[in-house]
Amino acid sequence: MSASEKELQEFRAEVAAWMRDNNPADPGFLLPQTFMEVGDERQLEFLREWQHKVWAAGYLGMAWPKEYGGGGVDAVFQSIADQEMRRHGVPICFNVIGLGWAGPLINDIGTEQEKARYLKGILNAEDVWCQGFSEPEHGSDLGNAQTRAVRDGDEYIINGQKIWTTMGNFAKYMILLARTNQDAPRKYDGLSYFLSPMQVPGIETRPIRKITGEFGFTETFFTDARIPADCLMGEEGQGWKIAMQTLQYERGAEAGAAGGQAMVRVTVDDMIKQLEGVKRDGESVLRDPVVRDQLVQAIMEEKAMILGDRRAHIGALTTDYPGSLPLSNKLRVTEMTRRMRQLAINLQGAQGALYVGDDEARQGGFWQRAYFNSFSATIGGGTSQVQANIVAEHILGLPK
Ligand SMILES: Cc1cc2nc3c(=O)[nH]c(=O)nc-3n(C[C@H](O)[C@H](O)[C@H](O)COP(=O)(O)OP(=O)(O)OC[C@H]3O[C@@H](n4cnc5c(N)ncnc54)[C@H](O)[C@@H]3O)c2cc1C
């Protein structure tokens, strides 16, 4: 039976009170704005503790099965909890590769043994997950991945290299795409999918420094690393199909995700607020007619995105191009996010050139750091160009 309006309202009030009472104080060091920015142990432990607390309070994984650490209730409760997390500006739930991709995948197609082994640790943040898809020569061209997995008795021996492994240095498990058959007639058929442990001899990670000077991802090297054969998900040769299912989650199919915020959300309204006091030609920048035009444009785009998301959930309103909204969602959201942060800096005038650590930087350089980091999401999970191809070919039916 679905929840009554009154029940939902009461639940919202309960979550709001909890978030108010438990929103942690500023730790005195920079916190990641997205899960792709967890760069050191201090940040990791802070976020691990926060996610554990949210889960223990019952506000994470609410729609996942109870026997695996979830709440076993309707997904509408999770969506209310997520809204309240956003509204109260609490920290992110950082274990996103587990919560949003590996977890839903295991819930959907995993065996009972896999569910029992992995799901609870994802929710309570004990087990950090990472993703080993991209390789130095094979990012967009993922189907050509060359990391090899060779069966040897009860084990697979892994050799090769992955790159851009978000949280690779902290992870206990990796969703790993590796080639088990070099001679398959189609390159895709030679790939297999593993739920691989990371802490085994022969797996080494090296953090990569980003444009912000911070860390967040690694190179990951496999040298005769032996992992148990039961880490194989599905059958040998099904890796491509399972990887594509994973990318559906990664690119914004929210159904099945455990919930929690993956990134600090800011709105055009937040951007306007940070401009108070900024002058252009002796007057508030907010009175400049060109700036006002730019802001209205940003507000319209933001509104369209919100309404588009709502519309995507109403089948009868998407009959013209079914699937168009979810499929184009990643492209729209990530590009809009990047443009908005760029505008925020432009409108700061000369102060826009300052960065974190400069006393004069507006909001401690929040927008500058957010701008540099906003490129991450336009690349990770498929670049904007590749997303545009997907929209062109799969929605509009244009030729390749
Ligand atoms: C912050 C961040 C975190 C990441 N985390 C992970 C992770 O945890 N695990 C993981 O496996 N990977 C991760 N990635 C890697 C990401 O998935 C790849 O960077 C991405 O798929 C692009 O691959 P590439 O870097 O090899 O670029 P390339 O594929 O070499 O692309 C280079 C340029 O060519 C363009 N291009 C390529 N092919 C086409 C085409 N067919 N049509 C039009 N243009 C094309 C691209 O758009 C891009 O501009 C992460 C990346 C970033 C930035």
Helices 5-22 and 75-87 pack at an angle, to 10 degrees, of 40
For a ligand 1 pocket test, name from 220, 383, 398 the mutation site with the most ligand atoms within 8 angstroms of its C-beta.
383
Ligand 1 atom with the smallest distance to the CA of 167 is 8
- Both tokens of residue 223? 């040298």
For Cα atoms 336, 339, 340, give the angle at the middle one, nearest 5 degrees.
85
First-to-last CA distance in the chain? 46
Ligand 1 atom with the smallest distance to the CA of 382 is 21
338, 330 contact by CB (below 8 A): no
Would you state the pLDDT for residue 314?
82
**Under DSSP, is residue 374 helix (H, G, I), strand (E, B) or coil?**
helix
Instruction: Report residue 254's pLDDT band, with 50, 70 and 90 as the boundaries.
Output: low
Q: Whose CA is nearest to atom 53 of ligand 1?
A: 376
> What architecture is the 5-127 domain classified under in CATH?
Orthogonal Bundle (1.10)
385 lines ligand 1 (CB under 6 A): yes
Assigned CATH topology for domain 130-250: Butyryl-CoA Dehydrogenase, subunit A; domain 2 (2.40.110)
Helices 324-347 and 289-312 pack at an angle, to 10 degrees, of 160
**Under DSSP, is residue 176 helix (H, G, I), strand (E, B) or coil?**
strand
Q: Whose CA is nearest to atom 3 of ligand 1?
A: 380
Across all residues in the chain, what is the average pLDDT? 94
Ligand 1 atom with the smallest distance to the CA of 138 is 26
Would you state the pLDDT for residue 232?
98
Determine whether 250 is an active site residue: yes
For a ligand 1 pocket test, name from 96, 97, 140, 163 the mutation site with the most ligand atoms within 8 angstroms of its C-beta.
140
Would you state the pLDDT for residue 345?
97
386 lines ligand 1 (CB under 6 A): yes
29, 40 contact by CB (below 8 A): no
Neighbours of 350 (CB within 10 A): 8
Would you state the pLDDT for residue 253?
62
Give yes or no for residue 381 having a pLDDT over 60. yes
CA-closest candidate to residue 182, choices 166, 159, 204: 159
Over residues 67-110, the pLDDT tens digits come to 999 999 999 999 999 999 999 999 999 999 999 999 999 999 99
DSSP 2: P
The rounded Å distance from CA 165 to ligand 1 centre is 12
Neighbours of 307 (CB within 10 A): 10
Q: Whose CA is nearest to atom 25 of ligand 1?
A: 139
36 lines ligand 1 (CB under 6 A): yes
Ligand 1 atom with the smallest distance to the CA of 384 is 47
The rounded Å distance from CA 143 to ligand 1 centre is 13
Q: What is the mean pLDDT of residues 347-370?
A: 95
d(Cα 123, Cα 105) in Å, to the nearest integer? Answer: 14
Q: Which burial class, exposed, middle or buried, applies to 117 when counting CB atoms under 10 A from its CB (0-12, 13-18, 19+)?
A: middle
In CATH terms, the superfamily for domain 268-395 is Butyryl-CoA Dehydrogenase, subunit A, domain 3 (1.20.140.10)
Question: Could you give the percent of the chain with pLDDT greater than 70?
Answer: 99
The rounded Å distance from CA 225 to ligand 1 centre is 25
Give yes or no for residue 323 having a pLDDT over 80. no
**Under DSSP, is residue 160 helix (H, G, I), strand (E, B) or coil?**
strand
d(Cα 64, Cα 70) in Å, to the nearest integer? Answer: 4
Q: What is the mean pLDDT of residues 267-279?
A: 93
Domain edges within the chain: 5-127, 130-250, 268-395
93, 260 contact by CB (below 8 A): yes
Strand partners, 191: 179
| Helix%, strand%, coil% for the chain, nearest 5 | 50, 15, 35
Helices 324-347 and 366-379 pack at an angle, to 10 degrees, of 150
Over residues 197-244, the pLDDT tens digits come to 999 999 999 999 999 999 999 999 999 999 999 999 999 999 999 999
Q: What is the mean pLDDT of residues 309-318?
A: 81
Q: What is the mean pLDDT of residues 291-320?
A: 89
Q: What is the mean pLDDT of residues 328-352?
A: 94
d(Cα 229, Cα 216) in Å, to the nearest integer? Answer: 30
Say which of 137, 250, 360, 393 is annotated catalytic: 250
389, 398 contact by CB (below 8 A): no
φ/ψ bin of 181: left (φ > 0), alpha (ψ from -120 to 50), beta (otherwise): beta
100 lines ligand 1 (CB under 6 A): no
**Under DSSP, is residue 94 helix (H, G, I), strand (E, B) or coil?**
coil
Model-level pTM greater than 0.85? yes
140 lines ligand 1 (CB under 6 A): yes
223: Cβ–Cβ under 8 A, 6 or more apart, which residues? 159, 202, 204
